Structure 1
Amino acid sequence: MIHFNVPPVTGNETKYIQQAIENHKICGDGEFTKKCHAWFESRLNIVRGGLTSRVLLTTSGTTALEMAALLCDIKTGDEVIMPSFTFCSTADAFVQRGAKIVFVDVRPDTMNIDEKKIERAITEKTKAICVVHYAGVACEMDTIMDIARRHSLKVVEDAAQAVCSFYKGRPLGTIADYGCFSFHETKNFSMGEGGAIVINTGTEDFERAEVIREKGTDRSKFLRGQVDKYTWRDYGSSYLPSDLNAAYLWAQLEKAEDIQKSRMKIWKTYNAAFANLEKAGKVRLPVIPEGCVHNAHMFYLITKSIEERTAFISFMREKEILAVFHYIPLHSAPAGVKFGRFDGEDEVTTPYSERLVRLPLYYGLTDEDQQKVIDAVLEFYK
């Protein structure tokens, strides 16, 4: 069976985990956590022209979003605008703070939030916009940030799929007030379960984030020798991951260039192999807008109908290939009905979500197995 996803392994994971154990520092913010923080901050800030973005590893992409919701001061009665075509964590983080979710439609080309439909969804209760960079392809951030500035709204980038993706030369996760990454086993870089929050709003906000992440205490300052003891300062939780997880992630980051090069080769091979299918009008391939550099997080096809997609998935499984659909729109879920509402018409979200199917793409997918996938797709559409 050719699996849809296989967690990345680069070779040094066990070595670094053992080293973390021998350091006698396996809780949060040990040697490997610091290495990961430095890796991200050096890369995020070089491209941003020296502007300060600070990074904190978290236990998941979900908890990174929860921290962002806290930093946005989301309270009961506030409204947060986001796409419905996303994972439930995007909404959960704000629902937990008492917010009402306002879903808007997505664009048919990128499956990202339709920036032209955001402004009409804003009310006097709107507090923030949470965008999702689907498949590692950037939302139209200049327009979104302009809307937010004019309406005094916070913006959060759910960049769970978008590590090493760019928008007009800027790394995704650094453009809005806060960016949130995921290092789940399905992502380009993994620590099993894990994530990170990027703070783009200055030192004071970063220090507040440190307090939230450390159970509401100023323990981070204590460990740096900035205070002689640490104490409970504010609301918080235990959002920092074990250094064992960070050690696993560090093995990935050391090989980040190799991982990205491999994934991009697979993505481009799919794209070239199916170009004629798109020209013949049989499927639609991913669209990468001008100014966007994606990270080859996934490759998907847009089929003609849900019936065709169902038949396609079944056909691929018969060939021992796992091809899978993706999100069920949140506004149609029981919790989405309870905690949110859809603004405007659902012209794209549901129809396109019912037609989208993802193909196997992961670090380590062999040329031979990829060719089997390609041959099977071409056979289905012959």
Structure 2
Amino acid sequence: MIPFNIPAVVGKEAYYLNELINDRVKFSGDGIFTQKCSALIESLYGAKKVLLTTSCTHALEMAAILIDIQPGDEVIMPSYTFVSTANAFVLRGAKIIFVDIRPDTMNIDEMKIEEAITTRTKAIVPVHYAGVSCEMDIIMQIANKYNLMVVEDAAQGVNSYYKGKALGTIGHLGCYSFHETKNYNCGEGGALLINDERFIERAEIIREKGTNRSKFFRGQVDKYGWVDIGSSYLPSELNAAYLYGQLENAELINQNRLSSWQYYYEKLQALADEGYINLPVVPEICRHNAHMFYIKVRDLVERTELIEYLKIMEIGAVFHYIPLHSSIAGQNYSVFHGEDIVTTQESDVLLRLPMYYNLTKSDIMVVVDAIKSFYKNENRGVHIERNYISGW
């Protein structure tokens, strides 16, 4: 069996957990390992302030509070994303305005954003799909022109770059995920990256249940109290200890995954050249993190058959998001601006292959050979028309 994902274990995760357990000083949030992780992320990626959270979902919720989303505000984002991207703003009363995506990167089509802006627009939320950056220069130019906030959903983008800038550090706020399916994980976890200094003090308060407790622990006030809205967004020190062991080895994990990604690409190139599949596109201005490797097939029927075929071969391959605008909640809380030309079409044909730290080349070849056998098998019941895929 080759699973779709295996959470990474590398370095000193167990050592740091044991150290924490043996010391028995502080298991709750904002202890020494939380502080170490935050400082390391700031150092590695150049964020002005990093606050660990219990998830990327909670980082997005904090961002929605910080930019003062109010009922009736509009937030522009792609429909091809995880539900948390939209939920965080819907919870504050916003109406979500979806725009179409690009067929090459699966990211929001930056050329469709400006026409979706109204007097009620408050923010743009670019989602960096598969760790490949959106076109951030244009997005930031649009945001500056209309005085809009930019919240980067960089859940998949830790250690990815756009023109030399780390994803999550370009917008006013950025959000990371450390879920077990991500490159660096602690089971469940996330981080809010604050790139606009005016949000730092309030972010600390919101994360501490609306209290100025952080100031109290720094000795800046002699007692703390309830001063603003907030919730419990602090991760456990146990999570942070595990995460610190991962972040210390960030580049080791990164290079390992990039090697696997490149090996997939090289070994599947022949099928792409013959017109059976399309391979991922990474623009030259982007440095990706090999968060996932996906292929695109002809249509939904073919993808379903291929998933079933790989399942029989004991290979875990899965599709990804169903566009949010087609969901029940999406129909209640959002509208799709313009025509859905790309989003649904491309979501129907994308298939994610196994990708994780220490995935072996031999296992990759098992996956590649299985995909080749699917397309070369004349008796599988589906007629394949070669060269059906037009160029991007």
Same fold (TM over 0.5): yes
CA distance in structure 1 between the aligned counterparts of 2:116 and 2:81, rounded to whole angstroms:
18
In the alignment, which residue of structure 2 is the partner of 1:92? 87
How many residues align? The count is 375
1:38: how far off? 1.0
Q: Write out aligned runs for 1:1-382 (5 A).
A: 1-23=1-23, 24-45=25-46, 53-202=48-197, 204-382=198-376
1:377: how far off? 1.3
Q: Is the 8 A contact 2:317 2:352 kept in 1?
A: yes
Q: Is the 8 A contact 2:45 2:159 kept in 1?
A: no
1:12: how far off? 2.4
CA distance in structure 2 between the aligned counterparts of 1:197 and 1:298, rounded to whole angstroms:
22
Q: Which amino acid in the other structure matches residue 166 of structure 1? A: Y
Question: Between the two proteins, what is the percent identity of the paired residues?
Answer: 61
TM-score (norm 1): 0.97
Runs of 4+ in 1 over 3 A off after TM superposition: none
1:21: how far off? 2.3
- Return 5+ residue gaps in structure 1 as ranges: 46-51
Q: Which amino acid in the other structure matches residue 70 of structure 2? A: K
TM-score (norm 2): 0.94
Q: Deviations over 1:168-191 (max 9, x none)?
A: 000000000000000000000001
SS in 2 for 1:381: helix
CA distance in structure 1 between the aligned counterparts of 2:249 and 2:365, rounded to whole angstroms:
25
CA distance in structure 2 between the aligned counterparts of 1:112 and 1:379, rounded to whole angstroms:
31
Q: Which amino acid in the other structure matches residue 124 of structure 2? A: I
CA distance in structure 2 between the aligned counterparts of 1:143 and 1:10, rounded to whole angstroms:
38
CA distance in structure 2 between the aligned counterparts of 1:286 and 1:107, rounded to whole angstroms:
12
1:11: how far off? 4.7
CA distance in structure 2 between the aligned counterparts of 1:214 and 1:145, rounded to whole angstroms:
30
CA distance in structure 2 between the aligned counterparts of 1:220 and 1:140, rounded to whole angstroms:
36
Q: Is the 8 A contact 1:218 1:230 kept in 2?
A: yes
Q: Deviations over 1:160-211 (max 9, x none)?
A: 0000000000000000000000000000000110000000001x31111000
Q: Which amino acid in the other structure matches residue 7 of structure 1? A: P
CA distance in structure 2 between the aligned counterparts of 1:255 and 1:280, rounded to whole angstroms:
39
Q: Which amino acid in the other structure matches residue 167 of structure 1? A: Y
Q: Which amino acid in the other structure matches residue 300 of structure 2? A: I
112-121 or 15-24: which moved more? 15-24
SS in 1 for 2:125: strand
CA RMSD of aligned residues (A): 0.9
Q: Deviations over 1:116-172 (max 9, x none)?
A: 000111111100001100000000000000001001100000000000000000000
CA distance in structure 2 between the aligned counterparts of 1:53 and 1:344, rounded to whole angstroms:
36
1:13: how far off? 2.0
